[in-house]
């Protein structure tokens, strides 16, 4: 369920058209990440939460976005998409290995 929600938020960021939509999507992304983080702390071993938050090896991409936007909003959009992509990749890794199972 977490993965599907995260993909939905990432896709909303990719296809939104206004600054206001993006701000709401960013808030949803932050809330989603905090919920996943809390779940990992409660249900997985101690290494799962830091792994989820670690985007150190992730590439940072820039995405095209048509239209007139407030200063720095395009950068904010890129950051939202990149952070969600990193979170989703890390969540997938955590869930597909027993390395992070409760001890």
What contacts 88, CB < 8 A, 6 or more positions away? 3, 6, 7, 10
Quote the pLDDT of residue 7.
97
Q: Which two structure tokens, joined as six digits, stand for 24?
A: 């709401």
Quote the pLDDT of residue 26.
96
What contacts 57, CB < 8 A, 6 or more positions away? none
What contacts 76, CB < 8 A, 6 or more positions away? 22, 26
Residue range 34-88, pLDDT digits in tens: 999 999 999 999 999 899 888 887 888 888 887 788 878 999 999 999 999 999 9
Of 17, 22, 4, the C-alpha closest to 76 is: 22
Quote the pLDDT of residue 89.
93
Enumerate the domain spans of the chain.
Answer: 2-100
Helix (H, G, I), strand (E, B) or coil at 17: coil
């Amino acid at each position: 369920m977490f993965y599907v929600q995260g993909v939905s938020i990432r896709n909303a960021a990719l296809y939104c058209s206004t600054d206001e939509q993006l701000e709401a999507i960013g808030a949803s992304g932050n809330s989603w990440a905090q919920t996943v983080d809390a779940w990992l702390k409660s249900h997985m071993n101690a290494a799962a939460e830091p792994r989820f938050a670690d985007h150190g090896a992730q590439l940072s991409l820039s995405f095209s976005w048509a239209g007139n936007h407030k200063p720095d909003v395009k950068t904010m959009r890129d950051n939202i998409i990149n952070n969600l992509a990193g979170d989703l990749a890390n969540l997938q890794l955590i869930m597909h290995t027993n390395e992070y199972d409760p001890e």
